[in-house]
Structure 1
């Protein structure tokens, strides 16, 4: 989340609630929104590391608020982040570890695990479809996020089918 907040600050100073609103507006309801406490903890850490600077702003009749802005070091860290590629193969998939280890434990049936995971993925696809319908052309970034998640889920469903076929051949 640190780099996401820093990227939002690249367009100008903001306080934590504004940053949360910006994330919600940009990514829509499909993106799990961080709580405001998490945002402020992250902002504190970024400030301590010199990637952002905070400034107290006086408000009449209200408590002061603290706005944050990106430092030169923060802008450089963002530039590096944008140049890096995202290389995260899913070889440490938690579900696959359950599937691989189930026969050794005798505590779970592999086909039952696959079926339970398939139901979970299908429920998630249904929920994402509802979110996509709710967006209905309004927020293109949010639509792309939902579409990408649904494509990943479809690939996961195809992979579950492949796992089941392989396991049934072994029997």
Structure 2
């Protein structure tokens, strides 16, 4: 969340609620909706670390609002974030740990684990399909996010098949 807020502030100064709205509009319902409390805590930390600076703005009929703008150090952090590749596939996978340790634990078998996980992934795929149908077609970022998640789930389903073939 920290770097996403910095990236938004690199465009223009904003207050917390504007940043929340911008995240929601950009990513649509496909992305977990940000908690406004989390946004304000993150903004406070960013300000404390010198990556943004805030200024209180008076409002006549409402409480003052704090508008934040990115500092040079914050801009450098955003540039570094975009320059670095994102982590690749997860190697420490909790499901795989369960799958490998199931025989030793003796509380379930691998086939049951695989079948339960497969059902879970299929339910997630159905949910993504409903989300894609409900999402605004003009929001390409949200559509790409949904498509990417569906492709990851399909890869996970294929991997489950491979696990079942190898481990049984």
Q: TM-score, normalised by structure 1?
A: 0.96
Deviation at 1:83, TM superposition (A): 0.5
Structure 1 partner of 2:145: 145
* Structure 2 portions without partners, runs of 5+: none
Question: 2-side partners of 1:116 and 1:55: how far apart?
Answer: 51
Deviation at 1:67, TM superposition (A): 0.9
Change (3 A) 1:97 1:31: same
Cα deviations by residue, 1:65-100 (Å, 9 ceiling, x for unpaired): 001110000000100110001123311111111111
Question: 1-side partners of 2:117 and 2:68: how far apart?
Answer: 42
Q: Secondary structure of the residue that 1:138 maps to in structure 2? A: coil
Structure 1 partner of 2:156: 156
Structure 2 partner of 1:65: 65
* Structure 1 portions without partners, runs of 5+: none
Is 1:134 the equivalent of 2:134? yes
Q: Secondary structure of the residue that 2:30 maps to in structure 1? A: coil
Deviation at 1:118, TM superposition (A): 0.6
Is 1:15 the equivalent of 2:15? yes
| Greater shift in the superposed pair: 6-15 or 82-91 | 82-91
State the aligned residue count: 168
Deviation at 1:136, TM superposition (A): 5.0
Q: Secondary structure of the residue that 2:68 maps to in structure 1? A: strand
Is 1:74 the equivalent of 2:80? no
| Greater shift in the superposed pair: 70-79 or 105-114 | 105-114
Q: Secondary structure of the residue that 1:164 maps to in structure 2? A: helix
RMSD: 0.9
Structure 1 partner of 2:36: 36
Deviation at 1:30, TM superposition (A): 1.0
Cα deviations by residue, 1:34-67 (Å, 9 ceiling, x for unpaired): 2100010000000000000011000002110001
Q: TM-score, normalised by structure 2?
A: 0.97
Which stretches of structure 1, 4 residues or more, deviate above 6 A after TM superposition? none
Change (3 A) 1:12 1:136: closer
